[in-house]
């Protein structure tokens, strides 16, 4: 009986720990402090932090906010009602520019959803909102909405249009909402809800000591991590990618052996969130491969030095110069003359060559000069 009870306790604790771990990256809608009155500022909370809405110092027309924005699911595009929604209102006259809303979080977050509803609610204005300081990887909206990854606009005569944005491409600490006049009018009566999750990658890009790096020979490797001078945020990991969209990760950043351009990111792997990209780094790993024959050999087969064959659909070619062309293509992989040679891949369907390998410096040893003259007893 005692063992059964202890087993039950262990299972319960394990489940509790599992559930707690699952909440580390929990998404939550921002809950705004309900006031029911129109004000120039608004405060809210989310799992792990707080958020405040203020106004920019630019613009002539005061912006107002109010929560709850909607008390029922009145506007398409919004999935909640009550204190998780707020609405904006612009003062008059409608022909003057208005202040921007500045939304500031107490700690970096990944915005998993930003829904904008009620655009052009009376079908008499051309409402358009544009975000600054945040870009989203996904976006959709009503049929007639004009939508991009950082804003949405209504079409005059089409009431209650909406835009839905998902997954900010980087961690966000602050972003702004700007109303843009269309047809000479601002309306600024729009409804919002924001869902976030913590982003331990932060909202600041890694800083670098240099933006170029050259491999030391003969090792021909570069330690990209040695270029980073900033401290990795707690809970995040420093990673390198060959593109600014962080799609192709560098698997060996401390021993990079391929020339190219690279970007550093802080990555929150739990919440799948990235910091902004660092400045681009141009890496050059071009140490020559030195090959010398050993007598009695008087030729070198360059193909024996390749680590892998050409990709499917390509043919490996050998060249006496770079870039690779048909004019400098060798008849075969075997060379009998000292010189500098390169390897490329040829794609017949488009009659083109890839970039060449690093240089292969071949020395054909003079076997007569390498052997001493005959001697006598």
| Cα–Cα distances in angstroms (integers) from residue 89 to residues 1, 65, 253, in the given order | 66, 6, 50
State the pTM of this model: 0.74
Q: Which two tokens stand for residue 55?
A: 């106004």
| Residues 140, 127 share a domain | yes
Domain presence at residue 14: no
Domain presence at residue 242: yes
> 91 pLDDT band (50/70/90 cuts)?
low
The pLDDT of residue 1 is above 60: no
> In 3D, which of 177, 170, 176 has the Cα closest to residue 129?
177
Domain presence at residue 341: yes
The pLDDT of residue 340 is above 70: yes
In DSSP terms, 90 is beta-bridged to: 63
Domain presence at residue 124: yes
Report the pLDDT averaged over residues 269-281.
Answer: 95
| Residues 302, 280 share a domain | no
Domain limits at 78? 28-198
The sign one gets for the Cα dihedral 209, 210, 216, 219 is positive
**Residue 97: predicted pLDDT:** 76
**Residue 94: predicted pLDDT:** 62
| Residues 301, 218 share a domain | no
Give every CB contact of residue 316 below 8 A, 6+ residues apart in sequence: 303, 306, 309, 310, 333, 343, 344, 345, 346
- 347-367 tens-digit pLDDT: 999 999 999 999 999 999 999
Q: Domain total for the chain?
A: 3
Report the pLDDT averaged over residues 327-331.
Answer: 97
Residue where a domain terminates, one of 198, 222, 240: 198
| Residues 148, 226 share a domain | no
* 185 compared with 88, residue with greater pLDDT: 88
> In 3D, which of 166, 128, 132, 130 has the Cα closest to residue 144?
128
Domain presence at residue 347: yes
CATH number, domain with residue 95: 2.60.120
| Residues 59, 170 share a domain | yes
| Residues 154, 189 share a domain | yes
| Residues 194, 271 share a domain | no
| Residues 165, 34 share a domain | yes
- 44-77 tens-digit pLDDT: 999 889 999 998 988 777 888 899 988 888 888 9
Domain presence at residue 145: yes
- What CA–CA distance (Å, rounded) separates 185 from 116? 19
**Residue 16: predicted pLDDT:** 37
The pLDDT of residue 209 is above 80: yes
* 328 compared with 94, residue with greater pLDDT: 328
| Residues 39, 171 share a domain | yes
Report the pLDDT averaged over residues 249-265.
Answer: 96
**Residue 123: predicted pLDDT:** 59
Side-chain half-sphere exposure of 242, counting CA atoms within 13 A: 10
> In 3D, which of 224, 269, 267 has the Cα closest to residue 242?
224
- What CA–CA distance (Å, rounded) separates 71 from 6? 49
| Residues 37, 140 share a domain | yes
Domain presence at residue 204: no
| Residues 231, 111 share a domain | no
**Residue 2: predicted pLDDT:** 44
* DSSP helix, strand, coil percent of the chain (3-state; round to 5): 10, 40, 50
Domain presence at residue 207: no
> 145 pLDDT band (50/70/90 cuts)?
confident
Report the pLDDT averaged over residues 98-125.
Answer: 86
The pLDDT of residue 211 is above 90: yes
SS3 state at 334: strand
Highest mean pLDDT among 84-88, 123-127, 152-156, 226-230: 226-230
| Residues 58, 175 share a domain | yes
- Give percent of the chain above pLDDT 70: 86
């Amino acid at each position: 009986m005692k063992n059964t009870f202890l087993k039950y306790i262990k299972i319960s604790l394990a489940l509790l720990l599992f559930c707690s771990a699952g909440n580390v990256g929990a998404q939550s809608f921002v809950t705004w402090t309900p006031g029911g009155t129109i004000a120039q500022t608004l405060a809210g909370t989310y799992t792990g932090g707080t958020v405040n809405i203020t106004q920019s110092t630019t613009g002539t027309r005061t912006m107002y906010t109010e929560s709850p924005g909607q008390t029922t699911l009145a506007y398409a595009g919004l999935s909640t009602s009550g204190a998780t929604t707020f609405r904006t209102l612009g003062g008059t006259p409608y022909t003057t520019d208005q202040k921007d809303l500045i939304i500031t979080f107490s700690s970096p977050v990944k915005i998993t959803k930003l829904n904008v509803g009620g655009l052009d609610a009376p079908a008499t204005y051309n409402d358009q909102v544009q975000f600054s300081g945040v870009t989203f990887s996904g976006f959709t909206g009503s049929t007639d909405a004009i939508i991009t990854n950082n804003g949405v606009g209504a079409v005059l005569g089409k009431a209650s249009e909406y835009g839905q944005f998902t997954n900010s491409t980087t961690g966000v600490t602050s972003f702004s909402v700007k109303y843009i006049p269309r047809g000479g009018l601002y309306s600024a009566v729009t409804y919002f809800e924001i869902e976030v999750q913590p982003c331990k990658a932060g909202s600041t890009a890694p800083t670098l000591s240099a933006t170029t790096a050259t491999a030391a020979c003969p090792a021909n490797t570069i330690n990209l991590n040695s270029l980073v001078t900033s401290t990795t945020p707690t809970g995040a990991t420093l990673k390198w990618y060959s593109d600014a969209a962080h799609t192709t990760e560098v698997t060996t950043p401390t021993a990079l052996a391929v020339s190219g351009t690279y970007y550093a990111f802080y990555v929150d792997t739990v919440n799948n969130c990235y910091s902004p990209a660092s400045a681009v780094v141009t890496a050059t790993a071009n140490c020559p491969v030195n090959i010398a024959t050993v007598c009695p050999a008087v030729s070198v087969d360059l193909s024996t030095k390749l680590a892998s064959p050409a990709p499917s659909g390509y043919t490996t070619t050998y060249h006496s110069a770079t870039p690779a062309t048909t004019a400098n293509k060798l008849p075969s992989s075997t060379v009998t003359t000292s010189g500098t040679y390169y390897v490329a891949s040829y794609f017949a369907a488009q009659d083109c060559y890839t970039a060449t390998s690093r240089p292969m410096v071949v020395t054909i040893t003079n076997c007569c000069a390498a052997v001493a003259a005959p001697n006598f007893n």
